[in-house]
């Protein structure tokens, strides 16, 4: 009898749902990789979850909830006993997408798609970080110049 390994099962699921890229990211990415490789992993913290990011080749805008539910139902057993935090990356900001692409790439349908997606994410995340730093600098200058006033009440409860 042939038993389908978890990694093979992930590949089958990704192909069926038209996934272009799949990443593990966050603090539990290595644990997620071990589980997918079939290694035994003990549950250290029941509150921990495995962060998995998906990028669709053609994002299912009209059926996002349905597709999310079906994907979650099929993917979550691969990471038992941990909970799966499934993230549809095209619905998140570029900072989260950047964190995902720094993680572990589990599935790539096409190298050209991967290269172009990751390049776009890096460009947009860099732009966002630039504007965040600019905003922070302007806010600090406004506070120093007295445009904002903060009150402190030591007895506030």
Query: How much is the pLDDT for 1?
Result: 44
pTM attached to this predicted model: 0.78
**Rounded-to-integer distance, Cα 152 and Cα 156, Å:** 8
pLDDT, tens digit, 9 for 90 and up, residues 111-130: 999 999 999 999 888 776 66
Query: How much is the pLDDT for 22?
Result: 98
Could you tell me which CATH class the domain 6-92+99-109 is placed in?
alpha beta
- Share the mean pLDDT of the chain: 88
Domains of the chain by residue range? 6-92+99-109
pLDDT, tens digit, 9 for 90 and up, residues 27-59: 999 999 999 998 888 888 888 899 999 999 988
**Rounded-to-integer distance, Cα 53 and Cα 103, Å:** 10
């Amino acid at each position: 009898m042939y038993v389908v390994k978890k990694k093979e099962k992930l590949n089958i699921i990704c192909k069926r749902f038209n996934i272009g890229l799949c990443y593990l990211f966050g603090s539990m990415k290595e644990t997620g990789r071990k589980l997918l490789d079939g290694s035994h992993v003990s549950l250290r913290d029941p509150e921990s979850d495995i962060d998995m990011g998906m990028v669709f080749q053609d994002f299912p805008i009209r059926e996002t909830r349905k597709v999310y539910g079906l994907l979650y139902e099929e993917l979550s057993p691969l990471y038992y006993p941990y909970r799966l935090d499934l993230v549809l990356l095209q619905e998140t900001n570029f900072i989260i997408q950047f964190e995902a692409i720094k993680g572990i790439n589990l599935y790539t349908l096409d190298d050209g798609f991967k290269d172009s997606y990751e390049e776009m994410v890096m460009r947009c995340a860099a732009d966002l970080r630039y504007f965040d730093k600019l905003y922070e600098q302007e806010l600090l200058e406004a506070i120093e110049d007295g445009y904002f006033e903060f009150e402190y009440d030591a007895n506030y409860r």
